[in-house]
Amino acid sequence: MNTFSELNLSASVLRALSDAGHETPTPIQAQAIPHLLNGRDLIGIAQTGTGKTAAFALPILDRLERRHQTRNGERPAPKSCRVLILSPTRELSGQIVDSFRSYGRHLPLKVELVIGGVPMNRQIRALQPGVDVLVATPGRLLDLVEQKALRLDKVEVLVLDEADQMLDMGFIHAIRATVKFLPAERQTLLFSATMPQAIADLSRQFLRDPVRVSVTPVAKTADKIDQTVIHVDRAEKSNRLASVLSDPAIDRALVFTRTKHGADKVVRHLAKTGISAAAIHGNKSQNQRERTLSAFRSGTVRALIATDIAARGLDIPGVSHVVNYDLPNIPESYVHRIGRTARAGADGIAVSFCDAEERPFLRDIERLIRMSIPVDGAAPRPVVTSAPVAGETPDRTEAGADKPRRNGRKRRRSGRGGRSPERQGQERQGQERQAQGQRDQGQRTQGQRDQARKDQGQEKSRARPAEAQASNRANRHAPANAASGSGQDLAGMSFLKRKTGDRRSAAAAVKP
């Protein structure tokens, strides 16, 4: 299909496409739009950047225009909507609203956005007269429904955009609760970048005899993205990132971290090196996120540091570089991240940092995308261990050795792989002899301790009579010794004082 005019879209929609400079539909648009115009439920497997938003927005707008004409401009019922679109993030929801307003600029339609992070009262007032198209995140939408600020019994079309991401973020319960309020007679569309089993199960619950369209093999990266990986120590990532971003040719760089704390930490480090950067993640308020995105689009901020939550919703033209500061532990997230560059036919560069602990993540990513990512710079240093000296037992902590399991037990060897049964029997006998020797040694040690305590007790028993005799002698000779002025038997005098308590007798004994 060569032009949009061949898709039988309404004149108002075609006019808006012409205003935006769009003439040729993308593959996902060419495949999906005819089925949607016929009212079919649909599953669309497409990555971000393929034009999937327009793939469902254009036929929905065409449907609303024809309905408006046949029903003499009938308006939506109060507190209701005719089209409900659920998306995982605030950013993606905002992009969808912008697309509907752009493609529907020549139509008398009302499009509203419902997301968290903004005052709910303002949204309640906007929904009061009813809307044609409502784009929402699942959590805030369910809050409004439960507060009776929105009714969903008039929904004609339901769209689940980025369904796999919504499941990853834990929205499945909110989605199921929302669908219970919808009428059974509706058109349902599901778009996802991947098709795991959970999405297949979801489609069977919510869709009726859907047609499936897929334009790109799952997890295939865009051809115009130049991908490289840099092996680097974890402690050197921040310095290496600053070095990469110091290139003046990089106008806008999108940097992905695995955690919110990591994103803020990267921003602080880049600020110290004089690189303007800002973070966007779930802990930022809606106003902060909007200001950050505006600064990034205008070029005031050269580096935008984001988490995977923002990966699906960002649609910013001119992103020349994507940097994976942390490799994602979910391989599909790598595809979504680097899909932020090389948009609209442009070229892009994706640079990934990989430390020693992330090498398994890199292998999973390369297995998923079916290619080896070229290495920029030195290859990773292998883990080198010295061979054990003959007769010595190798250190169990070396690479390749069995490590204790989490419950403290070690992995058992199967006996296969080089050890004969005779050798195993010899080892068991040696272990038994060693254990018996340890028990014998323990018995000998205990006997020695018992004998020592017995001897010590006998010595104390012999010492007590001798001490008593010495005390008696001191009592008899203490006055004489004191009268002679010798003062030598201080121990006897102290003993006398303690035993008799007669201070006067002691004083008389020392008189001249």
- Give this prediction's pTM: 0.57
Q: Verify that 116 and 162 share a domain, yes or no.
A: yes
pLDDT in tens, 181-202: 999 999 999 999 878 888 899 8
Q: Which range has the worst mean pLDDT, 115-129, 237-251, 332-346?
A: 332-346
Q: Do 42 and 213 contact (CB within 8 A), yes or no?
A: yes
Q: Verify that 18 and 124 share a domain, yes or no.
A: yes
Separation of alpha carbons 35 and 46, rounded Å: 16
Q: Verify that 256 and 140 share a domain, yes or no.
A: no
Mean pLDDT estimate for the chain? 79
Range of the domain at 70: 4-214
Residue 421 within any structural domain of the chain: no
Residue 467 within any structural domain of the chain: no
Q: Verify that 102 and 8 share a domain, yes or no.
A: yes
Q: Which range has the worst mean pLDDT, 60-69, 120-129, 302-311, 354-363?
A: 302-311
| Mean pLDDT within 308-314 | 67
* Secondary structure letter of residue 182 according to DSSP: S
| Mean pLDDT within 92-109 | 93
- Retrieve residue 290's tokens: 């909007």
Beta bridge partners of 255: 305, 323
Q: Is the pLDDT of residue 337 over 90?
A: no
Residue 20 within any structural domain of the chain: yes
Residue 450 within any structural domain of the chain: no
Residue 398 within any structural domain of the chain: no
> Where among 214, 237, 272 does a domain terminate?
214
**Highest mean pLDDT of the ranges 128-142, 157-171, 415-429:** 128-142
Q: Verify that 204 and 271 share a domain, yes or no.
A: no
Q: Verify that 248 and 171 share a domain, yes or no.
A: no
193-198's contacts with Cβ under 8 Å and 24+ in sequence apart are 193/45, 193/46, 193/47, 193/48, 193/162, 193/164, 193/165, 193/218, 193/332, 193/335, 193/336, 194/45, 194/164, 194/218, 194/219, 194/332, 195/43, 195/45, 195/164, 196/164, 196/167, 198/164, 198/167, 198/172
Residue 508 within any structural domain of the chain: no
Residue 452 within any structural domain of the chain: no
- What is the number of domains present in the chain? 2
Q: Do 44 and 52 contact (CB within 8 A), yes or no?
A: yes
Torsion sign (Cα): 479, 480, 485, 491: negative
CATH number of the domain to which 113 belongs: 3.40.50.300
Q: Does 486 or 132 have the greater pLDDT score?
A: 132
Q: Do 90 and 123 contact (CB within 8 A), yes or no?
A: no
Q: Verify that 139 and 252 share a domain, yes or no.
A: no
Q: Verify that 16 and 137 share a domain, yes or no.
A: yes
Q: Is the pLDDT of residue 302 over 90?
A: yes
Q: Do 150 and 77 contact (CB within 8 A), yes or no?
A: no
Q: What is the pLDDT of residue 129?
A: 96
> Where among 157, 191, 214 does a domain terminate?
214
What single letter denotes the amino acid at residue 28?
A: I
Q: Verify that 146 and 198 share a domain, yes or no.
A: yes
> Where among 155, 182, 214 does a domain terminate?
214
Residue 397 within any structural domain of the chain: no
Concatenating the DSSP letter of every residue in 61-91 gives HHHHHHHHHHTTTPPPPTT-EEEEEE-SSHH
